């Protein structure tokens, strides 16, 4: 993959976008590494939710829902902070490439021209503002392009172990 430079030495995350791409389901995986050492795998989504794909994207951008480009490395893309000022998260701090899926069907697609920037608000966060040890099943409107973990316990582990690391890299892959 052209964007690969090196394996980060500190904590970083790999997202794997499922081939199934079931609408409104958490069918993707996130893998936490420190350097080449594996720490944790959990479930989540790398896709916008159905309500966003079906037109809710217009609340954010009239061109379409933000779909992060897969098979790319995004070095130093996140920093610890809060998602919408409400819950600990990894907030976008570096460049990421997205597509704008505006066809309003139920599939998250890398369609149209891509755009790159550090201002989309593509965060890594949980599917709640109140962690309660739950594993959520339905995505709803928890992602308008963010990378969302649906397992509260796993999410807390990831955020706590990353701690105050200043930058976190991300690699998003299509399932192969």
The reported pLDDT for the residue numbered 112 is 82
The reported pLDDT for the residue numbered 140 is 86
The reported pLDDT for the residue numbered 134 is 95
Structural domain span for residue 154 = 11-174
The reported pLDDT for the residue numbered 129 is 94
Could you tell me which residues are beta bridge partners of residue 30? 15, 42
Query: Is 81 among the domain residues?
Result: yes
Query: Is 146 among the domain residues?
Result: yes
Instruction: Return the number of other C-beta atoms located less than 10 Å from residue 5's C-beta.
Output: 8
Predicted TM-score (pTM) of the model is 0.95
In the numeric block, which tokens belong to residue 174? 């299509």
The reported pLDDT for the residue numbered 21 is 85
Query: Is 2 among the domain residues?
Result: no
Residues of the chain with pLDDT below 50 are none
Query: Is 5 among the domain residues?
Result: no
d(CA 112, CA 3): 20
Contact 136, 24 (CB under 8 A): no
Query: Is 36 among the domain residues?
Result: yes
In three-state secondary structure terms, 137 is: coil
Query: Is 149 among the domain residues?
Result: yes
Q: Please write the tens of the pLDDT for every residue from 93-126.
A: 999 999 999 999 999 999 988 999 999 999 999 9
Query: Is 18 among the domain residues?
Result: yes
Query: Is 6 among the domain residues?
Result: no
Burial of 48 (0-12, 13-18, 19+ CB in 10 A): buried
**Per the structure, how many domains does the chain have?**
1
């Amino acid at each position: 993959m052209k964007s690969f430079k090196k394996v980060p030495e500190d904590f970083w995350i790999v997202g794997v976008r499922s081939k199934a791409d079931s609408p409104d389901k958490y069918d993707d995986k996130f893998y936490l590494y420190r350097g080449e050492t594996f720490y944790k795998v959990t479930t989540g989504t790398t896709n916008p939710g159905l309500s966003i794909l079906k037109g809710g994207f217009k609340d954010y951008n009239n061109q379409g829902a933000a779909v992060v480009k897969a098979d790319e490395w995004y070095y130093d893309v996140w920093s610890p902070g809060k998602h919408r000022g409400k819950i600990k998260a990894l907030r976008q701090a570096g460049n990421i490439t997205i597509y704008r899926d505006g066809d309003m069907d139920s599939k998250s697609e890398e369609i149209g021209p891509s755009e790159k920037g550090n201002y989309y608000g593509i965060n890594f966060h949980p599917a709640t503002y109140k962690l309660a040890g739950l594993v959520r099943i339905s995505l709803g409107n928890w992602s308008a392009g963010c990378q969302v973990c649906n397992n509260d316990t796993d999410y807390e582990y990831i955020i706590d172990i990353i701690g105050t690391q200043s930058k976190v890299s991300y690699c998003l892959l299509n399932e192969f």
